Structure 1
């Protein structure tokens, strides 16, 4: 069985080589919690590969923001999305929103985080506007990204309109997501991409791809940073992708060069310690200052909102250490108030005050990186992502890990949207040859009944043609936390019994479960760490055989298989998780 091909093919190659596949358009998308970016490539057979980052977004045409746009959109009272990205934050849009009673959707990415991550970090989610479904917000925002990407493509590629029309039906898209996301989140994003118009439902399984943000970043950095020239076979380095909400850290070992081939050495780590939590800390601090000064609530709201915006754009990005105080604009230049140390509309926060706003996130990141470095020799930490450009975070990492011989480096280009570019390089290059799944995956099985077994006490006992069984047993297919070669395959046979000689097999389904904790559970349902994932479904009417002795129908060739060739999850006849084909029906 050949398994699933990685998007650009199974073999590692250099992005600098000519494209040897069929001509196509590939779009890479990074929907961040606070900022988003899009890159694309028109890959022509036999031609040099190049990446184009989409810029000149509506509302910031004249600004050199390296393709970043705010991940926000306004909804009117009819649940229609009416303003997006940079345009949504213009004074005109804010005035229209106030007059029309619009509501802003922001930080909506946090609503898609897996429940165990949300609970682990105690996230307080921004309410969705007018109870608009999260699926609609994602499809609306992705649709906006597609619309402008098409306009930009047609304006910047020679004969762009004709090329777009010719290759749009076969266009492929790569969506990046945090390391901690899995099957549920990918199924959600794939459906949103279909609704946004990237592809059709029938083609989505083969034309919508996924890559972890850290893996996309490492592909970007291997091409654009100095670290690419410093790596040698056998070297080990870490990538810390510090974004708006999540900070992902992954350790890679270099297997070979030219082209570079990488192996994950352990399961990556993902913590909720991104830059937006510093913004929230700044808002709480400003409101505390303003409230303690006895200002009217209306003024508190206005000054805090303006202050957080100025802090995010300037002080947060410039702050390095406690030696420098930070001046924050909260009002117009005519505003003065000695009670809050405000002069000409600005208040000054001491360096020590600003540091407290960073401490929680910085401590979580240092703890996460340290957990990844334990037990190994890591020569470099490559810091990427929008928050990765923070001088304070860089300095904290250097102080913590420099003394143990680990250099903290960044790329020669701005990395805030390295993920979008990296998705294109990942699609073409396939440089990671070993991956480590976060979770263990398995299915529910029947355990032979043993009346003497204490573990079976109180469990449901059922009678089947082949004997007496207990429901709820865990059968592990793929262990979590163990590196696996992308081309490795392991199989395990299963069978299913039916009590009727004529079962309905046109919609055969098998639930897949994952286990988020360590170890191997004996039982599964309603146990901590066990959660369900989308089922594998298949019409197997033409593949069944009958066991007349037991009056049971048994599907032929049902087996488990794991194959880490790509990060796809869920196709027609195979079940994929974290790059692993977990369950396949051999038809």
Structure 2
């Protein structure tokens, strides 16, 4: 990686990257001082952490009391001696809550998967906000304790802090909007346009690329013009992202060379398969009441140590008095066949192998190098099985030899300060619902004649048309705008003061989707775009349709979308006296509004 240039900003800034994972979370940061070369650091001290000063992750767990007040978070929530307090006071545990944020259209979780419910009277935004607030407090204390004149230093950056929030490849604008709302509730930013602009989003796949670049892992892999595939295997999701390198002079940049993937097959699903097996095994025994505890012991020890399916595996969960030879329990240890444990991993392994092979087929650059990162990557069994299965295809799988658990947090900071990725690939086809003038000679129109509607001017129109603005698998640079012309006929004039548009996604297989009544289940509303058009409406002139004596107004405009950044940007454009005018559009992801828009 080329050396970083000194920071050229006018004043000091702090960049905080919050990696809130399904099972573990962490924070990395960078102080941007004018004239100084930026350096990425990790928060490595948290309350109640066992490995003091040496661990950059804490469990993603929160305990609430019966009144909904936060009582224990992170390492504090798994501390020794806490069980009695939890039981006596009825504390409620929130874990794996990140998966409650998943998109509604995403692949359904396996029906056998037990996703812990959110605490009563808590939304996923509430829980995210509480966890963000805790991470922020930990980062503030760590930075104040670690830097000279810490309190004075913090005061200088507190209101000049940029937040990078990481999320799985499959998350979209609706999930980003909820995370930003959580950041407001947590007190990280004020609820103003300026405050919200200090929150930035990046996929975990892209952060992992930045981490690999920092570690010097991509240089050799791309020497022959090939791309690399990053597999970020975490607690909840497995994200796949393929990149190719471009370089102009000393400027190093990367582009996505295939649409990214996101699969719900992270390490918690291995634990879930173990739980199902143990539930059946212990069903009619006295140990069935200990199912949660035994599963937890498997998750903390047996799962991590598993390397050989030919040897028996053990779950140490009790004392010497706990035994049942028929179940394989002796001295508080449950004996399992190695082949059974291997089956717990098998769905995740098969999913990742198939996803890698699929990704390599569709990339615009050949792929032979794959990097496995993320917390799940620490599993030797996962790594060995993937490596062995991929070698016959000429694919070389490797994993960074250290700090794989902080790849996302460090990469989040690098995303902000290094900005290596300059082009991304559209995951789906994006467009607008619209109507089209009825044509009695068009067989497609005739087959839909029973849905004809009349607009305000009295013309026959067919609804359910889909106008594509950006096609799937299109490579999009950050500066590229995609635009489409539309017109709208209304009466009266005041109805034009504000326009609303549904931006939709088509997630099906067709390369040229045209009608929304075909593959109906493959369409979903991504967001609602609203624009103030009151200035333009004042310039409109009344029109008249002589045949039917209708009076109406007509407006012509372009929808302009920028997809190349990690967040969608929308504008509405029109011509005024031959000059293009633009109105920034507000993008609304509110769930209730989206639901009503779909009706």
Q: Same fold (TM over 0.5)?
A: yes
Q: What is the CA–CA distance in structure 1 between the aligned matches of 2:243 and 2:380, rounded to whole Å? A: 24
Closer, same or farther: CA 241–334 of 1 in aligned 2, 3 Å = same
Which structure has the higher relative contact order (CA within 8 Å, separation 6+)? 1
Contact 1:225–1:411 (Cα < 8 Å) also in 2 = no
- SS in structure 2 at match of 1:379: strand
**Given the superposition, is the C-alpha separation of residues 317 and 500 from structure 1 closer, same or farther in structure 2, using an over 3 Å criterion?**
same
| Residues 103/132 of structure 1: CA separation in 2 closer, same or farther (3 Å cut) | same
Contact 1:232/1:254 (8 A) holds in 2? no
Aligned to 1:164: 154
Unpaired stretches in structure 1, ≥5 consecutive residues: 1-12, 576-582
Q: Which residue of the other structure, out of 178, 186, 189, is the alignment partner of 1:196?
A: 186
1:253 aligned onto 2:247 = no
C-alpha distance in structure 2 between counterparts of 1:215 and 1:16, whole Å: 19
Contact 2:531 2:584 survives alignment (8 Å)? no
Task: Choose from 404, 427, 436 the match for 1:447.
Answer: 436
Instruction: Report the Cα offset of residue 418 of structure 1.
Output: 0.7
Contact 2:222 2:244 in 1 (8 A): no
Instruction: Give the deviation of 1:263 after TM superposition.
Output: 1.5
Cα distance in structure 2, aligned partners of 1:102 and 1:158: 39
* Residues 444, 473 of structure 1: 8 Å contact kept: yes
Q: Which residue of 2 aligns with 1:279?
A: 271
CA distance in 2, matches of 1:24, 1:410: 33
* Cα distance in 2 for residues equivalent to 1:375 and 1:166: 48
Farther-moved stretch of structure 1 (91-100 vs 214-223): 91-100
- 1:554 Cα deviation (Å)? 5.2
Partner of 1:352: 339
Secondary structure in 2 aligned to 1:197?
coil
Offset at residue 305 of structure 1 (A): 2.6
Whole-angstrom distance in 1 between the partners of 2:543 and 2:532: 25
* 1:459 counterpart = 2:451: yes
- Conserved? CA contact 1:39–1:420, under 8 Å: yes
Alpha-carbon distance, 1:390 to partner: 1.2
Asked if structure 1 preserves the Cα contact closer than 8 Å seen for 2:531 and 2:572, the reply is no
* RMSD between superposed Cα atoms in Å: 2.5
TM-score normalised by L of structure 2: 0.87
Pick aligned residue for 1:384 from 366, 373, 380: 373
- Greater Cα offset, 487-496 or 377-386: 487-496
Aligned length: 560
Gaps of 5+ in 2: 545-550, 574-580, 586-599
What's the counterpart of residue 596 of structure 2?
Answer: none
Using the alignment, how far apart are the partners of 1:499 and 1:159 within structure 2? 65
Residue 567 of structure 1: aligned partner: 566
Superposition misfits of 4+ residues, deviation over 6 angstroms: none
Tell me what 1:313 maps to.
300
Which residue number in structure 2 is paired with residue 137 of structure 1? Answer: 127
Which of 24, 28, 41 pairs up with 1:52? Answer: 41
Instruction: Answer yes or no: is 1:223 the counterpart of 2:214.
Output: yes
Whether the 8 Å contact between 2:63 and 2:91 is mirrored in structure 1 is yes
CA deviations 1:204-241 (Å, max 9, x no partner) are 44211111101000100111153434432622111111
Q: Is the 8 A contact 1:73 1:85 kept in 2?
A: yes
The match for 1:20 is 8
Name the SS of the counterpart of 1:161 in structure 2: helix
Task: Output the CA distance in 2 between the equivalents of 1:181 and 1:136.
Answer: 18
Q: Is the 8 A contact 1:450 1:456 kept in 2?
A: no
Question: What is the aligned partner in structure 1 of residue 504 from structure 2?
Answer: 513
Aligned to 1:5: none
**2-structure distance, mates of 1:64, 1:158:** 18
2:405 aligns with 416
Whether 1:35 and 2:24 are equivalent positions in the alignment is yes
1:301 to 2:289 alignment: yes
Deviations 1:14-70 (A, max 9, x none): 563222234211111111111111111111121111112112211215446631111
Q: Distance in 2 between matches of 1:96 and 1:65?
A: 28
Aligned to 1:206: 197
Paired with 2:506 and 2:202, the residues of 1 have a C-alpha distance of 21
Q: Which residue of 2 aligns with 1:580?
A: none
> Which of 154, 157, 165 does residue 144 from structure 2 map onto?
154
Structure 2 SS opposite 1:464? coil
Find the counterpart in structure 2 of residue 539 from structure 1: 532
Deviates more, 1:423-432 or 1:459-468: 459-468
Task: Report the TM-score when normalising by structure 1.
Answer: 0.89
Relative to structure 1, the CA distance from residue 158 to residue 504 in structure 2 (aligned partners, 3 Å threshold; closer, same or farther) is farther
- After superposition, the C-alpha distances for 1:388-444 in whole angstroms (9 at most, x for unaligned) are 121111112211221232211111322122101100001111111221121211112
Matched, 1:244 2:235: yes
